[in-house]
Each structure stands twice: as C-alpha cells, then as structure tokens.
Amino acid sequence: MKVCLVGAGYYAQFHLKAWARIPGIEVVGIADLNARRARGAVADCPDVKMFRDTEVMVRECRPDLVDIITPEATHGRLVGLLAGKVRTLMCQKPMAPTLQAARAMADAARHAGTELLIHENFRFQPWFREARRLLEDGELGLPQQLSFRFRPGDGRGPDAYLQRQPYFRTMDKFLVHETAVHYTDTFRYLLGEVSAVTARLRRVNPAIAGEDAGIVIYEFTSGAVAILDANRDLDHDATEPRYTHGGMLLEGGLATWRLDGAARTWLRRRGEASETQHSSFGRIVPNGDCVFHYLTAMVKALGGDASSIADIAASRASAYLQNLEIEQAIYQSAAEGRTVAL
C-alpha cells in the first residue's frame, strides 16, 4: 500500500517511524509548504519525494492512503480537496474547529466514496488495552467508576508549548477540544456510551488563550461514572510526566485496577487490604507505541481483517462525530453550570 503524508510538523515524526515498521507499506511522498521542515522530517527516508503542493503529490504518487498531519484549521480544505482522489484519508485530531465543520468533512468524504478515518490513538495505548481485556474477561466485575488524573506538567510558564506545538497557545478551546477528546474516546472504549456530562473548566496559565484545567464527570448508560481531573500546569510522580500523562483508577465489583506514572498497573481484589503489581509496560514513545498500534490495526482493517475492522470502527468519521457531540456538551455544561444530557 502506498502512503503519502501531508504535514511535516512535530507529530509527523511519529507517523513516519510507525509507517516504516509496517510490512507492505511504502511511504512515497510528503507535502509541506515549509521545504526545510519537510527535508528534516524525511532525512532518514531518501526514497520519499517532497512536495509543496498536495494535489501535485497525489497526482504524481497515486497513493492508496493520504495521512493528514496538519493543524485542524486545514483539515476541511484538505479533505474537500482529496476526497474522491484517494481510497482512504486519515486525518489527525482535532477533526475540525467545530462540530458543524466536522460533519461537513464526513459528508464530503462519504459523497465522494472515500473512507475518512480520524487518527485517535489513545485507546491503543497498551495500558488501556489491558484494562479493556480485564473488563471483557470479567476479572474486575461490573465496572462502576473510573477516574483519571491528567497531569502532563507541560503547560507552565510564558513559553508553554512553544517548542513542540505552538499553535496550542492560541486555541480558544484547548483542554477539552485538543486533549480531553482522547479521554472521551477512551472512556467510551472502556465503559460504553455516555448519557450525560457535567463540567467545570478554567484557565491556569495566562500566557495561553484557552482553558487548560478542569473536571469533567461522564455518566454512562450502563450506570458507570468516569471523572477526568485535568490540569496541564501540574505534573505527577513520574520520570516523564507526558508518557502516561497521569494515573488512573478503574473500580469494578470484583477488583480495582490502577495505572501509575511508570506505566505499571496494579490490581487489588475486593476485600483485600493491599494491591499487587499486575503488569508493566516499557517506555516506548509516543505513549506506549500507540501510533504504531493504531496504524497497524487500520492497515489490517483495510485488508479485510474482521477483528481489526471492529477495532477501528470508532475512528471512522461518522462514528467519531459522537466524541465531538460529547465535547460540545462538555463546553455547554461548563458555560451554563449544569449537567447536560446527550
């Protein structure tokens, strides 16, 4: 399968490295208006052609899939430009600046006969996969409560985010729109569908435009509850706070499962006084190799593998819109000071 990339910014390096490890994949082109940045991105990939114009790249390279790794403001134009010209488009999140724009993207791809996938990879982090396995095997019992303390420690001071993704600083909607959407998707992966949300949001760092801290309570149709307690200014007890981004507690009727900042998990059976280490995940950037795991599942799904098709179903644009509907409800809850039903 031939793949082209659009965008050679910070996150493109992880996509390039992951694509290179998947058998049967040939990255043939990369497009970016900044030629210097493109050269840097593919310095170790001499066979990848560089372009400034995306249309020219697609016309010359004739890829099966185009991987869009650009800021959200460009996504609508790129999907409109490429829909119908390639079989599959994969687009970074945030999907679009607004829910309306995201729906328009999904419609454009569908009408053109192009599969549009949103690169949502947190549910492919190995610790969340293990939590899902424990739930499916019944080892935790009926899940009742989940809490995640998001503490990456990367948002402090006047220079926050400048080195990696400076556009973070000017996003009017930041924590929920750019970051919490990962956890919305992951919580749905673990606990099912959301029925209501309650949120309180605030800005801690005055150097940025949008919110960077808050608490979101998710209620699920199953009766379970999840709490996202997020603050990008604060860190947690980890050598690299941005690896797991924080710690998690998943509580079921039979046992409680905990994730710590060293990517270790711990299990305590109901009635026991102490927990024991359940598993440990080696430090593979980014975030447990989740980019590679997602891309691998996606390639298998496109090849017809049934289990992989089910695995990536939630990242299809039409399905992914539900995450954005929940996001909209979170902002509405914070603005109106009330619980919002989905």
Condensed to tens digits (0 to 9), the pLDDT of residues 247-270 reads: 999 999 999 999 999 999 999 999
Can you tell me the mean pLDDT for 158-174? 95
106-153 pLDDT, tens digit each: 999 999 999 999 999 999 999 999 999 999 999 999 999 999 999 999
pLDDT at 284: 87
pLDDT band for 31, please (50, 70, 90 cuts).
Answer: very high
Q: Report DSSP letters for 8-59, one per residue.
A: -STTHHHHHHHHHTSTT-EEEEEE-S-HHHHHHHTTT-TT-EEES-HHHHHH
pLDDT at 188: 98
Quote the tokens at residue 72: 């959200």
Q: Out of 3.40.640.10, 2.40.10.330, 3.40.50.720, 3.30.565.10, which CATH number does the structure's domain 2-119 have? A: 3.40.50.720
Q: Is the pLDDT of residue 221 over 90?
A: yes
266-279 pLDDT, tens digit each: 999 999 999 999 99
Pairing state between β 115-119 and 88-92: parallel
pLDDT at 44: 87
**Interatomic CA distance for residues 295 and 171, integer angstroms:** 27
Q: How far apart are the first and last CA of the chain?
A: 39
pLDDT at 71: 93
Contacts of 189 (CB under 8 A, 6+ apart): 123, 128, 132, 314
pLDDT at 286: 86
pLDDT band for 283, please (50, 70, 90 cuts).
Answer: confident
Query: Over the chain, what is the mean pLDDT?
Result: 97
What is the 8-class DSSP label of residue 265? E
Domain boundaries, the chain: 2-119, 123-286+317-341
Other residues' Cβ atoms within 10 Å of the Cβ of residue 111: 10
pLDDT at 160: 97
pLDDT at 189: 98
323-337 pLDDT, tens digit each: 999 999 999 999 999
71-87 pLDDT, tens digit each: 999 999 999 999 999 99
What fold is seen in the domain 123-286+317-341? Dihydrodipicolinate Reductase; domain 2 (3.30.360)
**How far does Cα 261 stand from its chain's mean position?**
19
Pairing state between β 65-68 and 213-220: unpaired
pLDDT at 177: 98
Vertex 39: Cα angle to 35 and 44 (nearest 5): 165
SS3 151: coil
pLDDT at 110: 97
Can you tell me the mean pLDDT for 225-231? 98
Phi, psi for residue 20 in degrees, rounded to 5: -65, -20
